[in-house]
Chains A and B, each alone.
Chain A
Amino acid sequence: MAASTLKIENLHVSIEGKEIIKGLDLEINGGEIHAVMGPNGTGKSTLASAIMGHPKYQITEGKVFLDDEDVLEMEVDERAKAGLFLAMQYPSEVSGVTNADFLRTSINARREEGDEISLMKFIKKLDSKMADLDMGEEFAQRYLNEGFSGGEKKRNEILQLMMLEPKIAVLDEIDSGLDIDALKVVSKGVNAMRNEEFGCLIITHYQRLLNYITPDKVHVMMQGRIVKSGGAELAQRLEAEGYDWIKEELGIKDETVGQEA
């Protein structure tokens, strides 16, 4: 399997008629970890949801390609099967469906009929990934996210990431609400995925996560666009100095969506 590329060109996204993302360009290659940072209300999570095809968001302009496939033409499940993954900020709870059944259904959805993963192989993989994430065995049989704490839900998202092994993953504020121990566990999971083919887009507004997952590229989002890009050192500067210097540099008064420079 060769490394994939997710290419976003001039993306415009609206919700209920209000434009949130206003011409965004981004290219993520397999093997790279990108971080999109920025204060609240700048469109970061909208970007994540729009890539996956969230029903609330309308793409009004632009292109998203995974290699040579037009992502915006695909249904949500087709995007997943093409190799995209979104770890959600607020994962849904689904009562009556166990975590294990859900995961097995997900894995088998991307395999041909008759080529389903064997139960033994599945359980083995699930046990090992759950151990990596310090998740108790009972999580396999609990209903999907039902009654999970915030931290447990985030771990469960990473568990799905590790089980499904996508080409390109988008992690939407996977660090919010986590204590330091949980943050380390989640980071460990993401780092374990790192290889020459796996591409990842981490969306966060805390630099803290990037102490544990070193990004190859860091982008700053304001007013629905990427306004600055750099290497890991950019995240460190943001941690030390905040966002004001960027706003000053670019002449931005209010960084949130709906404001213009």
Chain B
Amino acid sequence: MSVDTKIAFDQDYVRSFSEKRQEPEWLTQLRLMALEKSTNLPMPKPDKTKIDKFNFTSFKHDVPTEGISSLDELPEDIKDLVAKDQQSGNLLVHRNSTPVFSQLSDELKDKGVIFTDIQTAVQNHSELVEKYFMKDVVKVDEHRLTALHTALLNGGTFLYVPRNVDVDVPVQALYWQEDPEAGLFNHVIIVAEDNSSVTYVENYLSYSHDVESVANIIAEVHVGQNARVTFGSVDNFAKGVTTYVNRRANVARDGNIDWALAQMNDGNTVSTNSTNLVGDGSTADSKTVTIGRGNQKQNFTNEIFHHGKNSEGVLLVHGVQKDSASAIFNGVTKIEHGATKSNGDQTQRVLMMNEKARGDANPILLIDEDDVMAGHAASVGKVDPLQLFYLQSRGISRKEAERLIIHGFLAPVINELPIEGVKNRAIEVTERKVN
């Protein structure tokens, strides 16, 4: 075990943290087991990015936080993130990982929908959470960060949609890291039972420009038979935050998941977005946009695993790299033996705005079945000086020309983001990152 990732959290700390949160025994035990394992497990090894210098240890784990009595108390920038149609709708607000606002319409409650923070969920729906938490989708012992995530879990959301229930307005979770040093070990569980549908939108926002912190996020999505889940995110952690984020779904027969991820962090980031198309006829559509700037280093792995017959997966990633930022984009399409008639397609495009920016796309197709379709396209290139000349020749400044080109480059993905709110937020954040 390297000294770098030694954590100052021991069994006593974790046990008392769990007790303080009045957690069921199974979770306390799971935390302790995970903490134990974390000391021996290796760090994840994202392809082609060295993360040994990333900060995964410097953060505050338990930050005392005051509640709010109404949304009006939120600062303007946070209020802006709340979709207008959400103000009387389905919303969870976390402040430094502590839930401070929670609302779910009576109609959805009556239908049996659960939308609550993870702490409340383990108290009120212990068995249900236990059934899904770090079991089938993401495992505790995948590597040190999944184990630490389990041991130090301090926030998150539980969304449960019963069989045959359609949730036709999006539900939104807002993770507001007000304290710049607050570490976030956030766990999202979405369970969409058979024949149900739901759209979940999450926003992460922090301010740690000068001090260091850590975000360790795992989202597990269970898509039942013929269920449909749309998962939208706008990640916007500040420069000081090192982020490990792993969003993964298992999709049952004829189920569908659409991912729409605007990954606009300003700090070092290791991101995985995976879909297991387990059932026959299951489908996935994964779209990601990102802008790297400053000195940030990022690694994105977007992957779809085809197990079921006739499964279809489409990956689309567009990344812009500015300044001295560097990023690796790994696209993985894996079609397992027996997944006949499956169709996997991926596109990765990387645009570099100057000489120091780095971007690399690695399309990986792993096909263990003959009777399938699979395709990929990847391009990595610098901004075209003739495009800049053309735009500038109409009086547009260099900066504005770059802005137009970046917006244009991201538009094919952003315009396809299925949720208007996520789209608008993504455009706003893009605007901030470009200027």
B395 touches A80 (CB 8 A): yes
Q: A95-B412, A109-B397 are in contact. Are A77 and B405 (CB under 8 A)?
A: no
Q: Which of A95, A105, A110 contacts B411 (CB 8 A)?
A: A95
What bracket does the count of chain A residues touching chain B fall in? 20 to 34
Q: A92-B386, A92-B387 are in contact. Are A109 and B408 (CB under 8 A)?
A: no
B389 touches A54 (CB 8 A): yes
B393 touches A102 (CB 8 A): no
B395 touches A110 (CB 8 A): yes
A80 touches B412 (CB 8 A): no
B71 close to A (CB within 8 Å): no
A109 and B412 CA atoms in complex are apart in Å by 25
A106 touches B396 (CB 8 A): yes
A221 and B128 CA atoms in complex are apart in Å by 83
B404 touches A97 (CB 8 A): yes
A55 close to B (CB within 8 Å): yes
In the complex, the chain B residue whose C-beta lies closest to that of A103 is B394
Q: Which of B387, B393, B400 contacts A80 (CB 8 A)?
A: B393
Contacts of B400 in A (CB 8 A): 105, 109
Contacts of B395 in A (CB 8 A): 77, 80-81, 106, 109-110, 164
A105 touches B389 (CB 8 A): no
Q: Which of A55, A97, A143 contacts B385 (CB 8 A)?
A: A55
In the complex, the chain A residue whose C-beta lies closest to that of B407 is A96
Q: Which A residues from 156 to 199 make CB contacts under 8 A with B?
A: 160, 164
A91 close to B (CB within 8 Å): yes
B392 touches A80 (CB 8 A): yes
Q: Which of B384, B396, B408, B409 contacts A77 (CB 8 A)?
A: B396
Task: Please indicate which of the listed interface residues A81, A85, A106 has the most CB atoms of chain B within 10 Å of its own CB.
Answer: A106
Query: What string of 1s and 0s marks CB contacts (under 8 Å) between B377-395 and chain A?
Result: 0000000111111111111
Q: Which of A55, A88, A95, A109 contacts B409 (CB 8 A)?
A: A95
Task: Please indicate which of the listed interface residues B384, B392, B397, B398 has the most CB atoms of chain A within 10 Å of its own CB.
Answer: B392
Contacts of B385 in A (CB 8 A): 55
A101 and B386 CA atoms in complex are apart in Å by 19
Q: A55-B385, A92-B386, A97-B405 are in contact. Are A106 and B394 (CB under 8 A)?
A: yes
A164 and B395 CA atoms in complex are apart in Å by 9
Q: A96-B408, A96-B412, A97-B407 are in contact. Are A75 and B387 (CB under 8 A)?
A: no
In the complex, the chain A residue whose C-beta lies closest to that of B390 is A92
Contacts of B411 in A (CB 8 A): 95-97
Task: Please indicate which of the listed interface residues A76, A79, A80, A91 has the most CB atoms of chain B within 10 Å of its own CB.
Answer: A76
B410 close to A (CB within 8 Å): yes
Q: Which of B396, B398, B410 contacts A96 (CB 8 A)?
A: B410
Q: Which B residues from 163 to 188 make CB contacts under 8 A with A?
A: none
Contacts of A13 in B (CB 8 A): none
B392 touches A94 (CB 8 A): no
A95 and B414 CA atoms in complex are apart in Å by 13
A160 touches B394 (CB 8 A): yes
Q: Which residues of A contact B (CB under 8 A)?
A: 52-55, 75-77, 79-81, 85-86, 88, 91-97, 101-102, 105-106, 109-110, 143-144, 160, 164
A-B CB contact pairs (8 Å), 28 listed: A53-B389, A55-B389, A76-B389, A76-B393, A77-B392, A81-B395, A85-B394, A88-B393, A92-B386, A92-B389, A92-B391, A95-B411, A96-B409, A96-B411, A96-B412, A97-B405, A102-B391, A102-B394, A102-B404, A105-B396, A105-B400, A105-B404, A106-B396, A109-B394, A143-B408, A144-B408, A160-B394, A164-B395
Q: Which residues of B contact A (CB under 8 A)?
A: 384-398, 400-401, 404-405, 407-412
**Assuming A76-B392, A109-B397, what are 20 further A-B pairs, CB within 8 angstroms?**
A52-B393, A55-B385, A55-B388, A76-B393, A77-B392, A77-B394, A77-B397, A81-B395, A85-B394, A86-B393, A88-B390, A94-B390, A94-B391, A94-B408, A96-B407, A96-B408, A96-B410, A102-B391, A105-B404, A144-B408
